[in-house]
């Protein structure tokens, strides 16, 4: 019995992180709904980030940004945010992992489409107009990509012919099988 428990514990310890890594990125919730713009910078005073933030603070650019269904993710000093709200350390790590970036200390600006694919990945200064132009040039199928909504669940109506019948008793739970001793 002890050997089985240790084997199971070892398998779960090894497979747990691998299974958790599948689809745990914050980008997954935006897939089909919006276009994430991700800025990864080593510090908050990085010139690329400062110029992009200054451009986004202008009302006309902010309106164009929201009109194109875009959301802003930032990872500054390994602290992640989505639209100004903090992400937890696991979510930040999952975001970086999902982008499959190589090692480097340069600032990266990445635009991800509604389909979840990278549209722009640059390590140098990026102009907001270039990003908007890229979004506008996307094929119509990507522009209209949305997450399909599941069909509504309908409950079966009770039969009308079963007049005066009582509902049945719930069944007793089955007894678990006995485990053999080792």
Give the Cα separation of 93 and 30 in Å (integer).
17
Q: Is 42 helix (H, G, I), strand (E, B) or coil?
A: coil
Q: How confident is the model at residue 38 (pLDDT cuts 50, 70, 90)?
A: confident
Q: Rounded to the nearest 5°, which phi and psi values hold at 8?
A: -65, -45
Confidence check: pLDDT of 95 > 70: yes
Torsion of CA 42, 45, 48, 50, to 10 degrees: 140
Contacts of residue 104, defined as CB under 8 A and 6 or more positions apart, other chains included, come to 123
- Taking phi over 0 as left and psi of -120 to 50 as alpha, with beta for the rest, 171 belongs to beta
Please determine, for residue 44, whether its predicted confidence score (pLDDT) is greater than 50: yes
Return the SS3 of 43: coil
- Token look-up 């690329």 returns 48
Q: Which domains does the chain have, with CATH numbers?
A: 22-140 (3.40.30.10)
Q: What is the pLDDT of residue 10?
A: 62
Nearest to 27 by CA among 61, 73, 89, 68: 73
Q: Answer whether residue 9 shows pLDDT above 80.
A: no
Q: Which residues, 6+ apart, have CB-to-CB distance to 135 below 8 Å?
A: 35, 68, 70, 111, 119
Cβ contacts of 59-62, under 8 Å, gap ≥ 24 = 61/128
What pLDDT does residue 70 have?
86
Mean pLDDT, the chain, whole residue set: 74
Provide the pLDDT confidence category of residue 21 given band limits of 50, 70 and 90. Answer: very low
Evaluate if residue 73 carries a pLDDT over 80: yes
């Amino acid at each position: 019995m002890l050997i089985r428990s240790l084997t199971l514990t070892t398998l779960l310890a090894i497979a747990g992180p691998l299974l958790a890594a599948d689809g745990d990125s914050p980008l997954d919730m935006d897939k089909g709904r919006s276009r994430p713009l991700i800025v990864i910078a080593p510090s908050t005073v990085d010139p690329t980030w400062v110029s992009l933030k200054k451009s986004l603070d202008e009302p006309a650019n902010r309106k164009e940004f929201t009109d194109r269904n875009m959301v802003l993710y930032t990872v500054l000093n390994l602290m992640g945010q989505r639209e100004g709200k903090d992400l937890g350390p696991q979510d930040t790590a999952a975001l970086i992992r999902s982008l499959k970036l190589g090692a480097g200390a340069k600032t990266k600006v990445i635009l991800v489409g509604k389909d979840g694919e990278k549209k722009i990945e640059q390590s140098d200064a990026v102009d907001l107009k270039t990003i908007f132009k890229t979004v506008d040039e996307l094929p119509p199928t990507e522009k209209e990509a949305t997450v399909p909504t599941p069909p509504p669940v309908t409950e079966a109506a009770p039969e009308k012919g079963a007049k005066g019948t009582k509902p049945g008793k719930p069944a007793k739970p089955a007894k678990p099988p006995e485990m053999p001793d080792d």
